[in-house]
Chain A
Amino acid sequence: AQKITQTQPGMFVQEKEAVTLDCTYDTSDPSYGLFWYKQPSSGEMIFLIYQGSYDQQNATEGRYSLNFQKARKSANLVISASQLGDSAMYFCAMRASNAGGTSYGKLTFGQGTILTVHP
C-alpha cells in the first residue's frame, strides 16, 4: 500500500518569497512517480510537476521545483517568487508500479496543504 503524508495543514508566505511544501511518502513498490497538484478555491485540480523514482535530477517546471530525496522518502515542492495567485490547496500524490514495472495508474493523495500568499 502507498501512503502520502503532508504535515503542514497551512502555510503562509510573503509575495515574491520562496516557500517549501513538505511531502513524505511510504511505499514498498519498486518504482513510483510523485506528483503535485494545485487546487484553487474554484475547485479544479491543476497538475504542476512530476518526479519519477528513477529520475537522476530533480524536476523543475517554471517556478516549481521538486526537492526529491529518495533515501528520506520525501518529495517537497518548492515555489519560487510566490504570487498572489499561488494561494490554493496543494496536494502531493504518488503512483506506484509493480515489480514488473507496470504502473497501477491510480494516484494516492495526501491531505493537502493550504498555502496563503500575503501581499
Chain B
Amino acid sequence: DSGVTQTPKHLITATGQRVTLRCSPRSGDLSVYWYQQSLDQGLQFLIQYYNGEERAKGNILERFSAQQFPDLHSELNLSSLELGDSALYFCASSTSLDTEAFFGQGTRLTVV
C-alpha cells in the first residue's frame, strides 16, 4: 500500500457527462500529480500541484481541470467526456519536488 488513496476505483459513464476523481496523498506529502495511462498514449503527465498551488501543466485538455484543497487532497474534473477519455487515471504524491513519487491504485474510467 503506497498510502495514496484514489476514489473511485472504477467509473463507467456516458459520453458528454462530467466526473470527478478524488485523490488523498500520503500523509505529509505536499506535491500531487495526475497522470493518464491509455493504450495509445502510454503514461502522460496531466497536471501538478504543490501545497495548493498549480505548479506544472502537461498534456491536459481544456475539458479537464484539477485543484488541490487546503487539506492537500486533490480532485480531477473531467467534463464533456468522449470515448477517447477512457483510461486509467493515476494520482501520485511526493514529499517534495525531488523525492520519489508514490502512486495510488488508479481510477479506471470507461466512457460508453
Query: Of A102, A103, A109, which is within 8 A of B43 by CB?
Result: A109
Total A-B contacts with CB atoms under 8 angstroms apart: 62
**Which listed segment binds A: B61-69, B74-82, B98-106?**
B98-106
- How many chain B residues touch A (Cβ–Cβ < 8 Å)? 27
A110 vs B37: C-alpha distance in the bound complex, in angstroms?
12
Interface CB pairs A-B, < 8 A, 14: A37-B103, A42-B105, A44-B2, A46-B103, A97-B98, A103-B98, A105-B48, A105-B50, A105-B55, A105-B56, A105-B94, A106-B56, A107-B33, A112-B43
Residues of B that sit less than 8 Å from A by CB: 2, 31, 33, 35, 42-43, 45, 48, 50, 55-56, 58, 88, 90, 92, 94, 96-98, 100-106, 108
Residues of A that sit less than 8 Å from B by CB: 33, 35, 37, 42-47, 50, 91, 93, 95, 97, 102-112
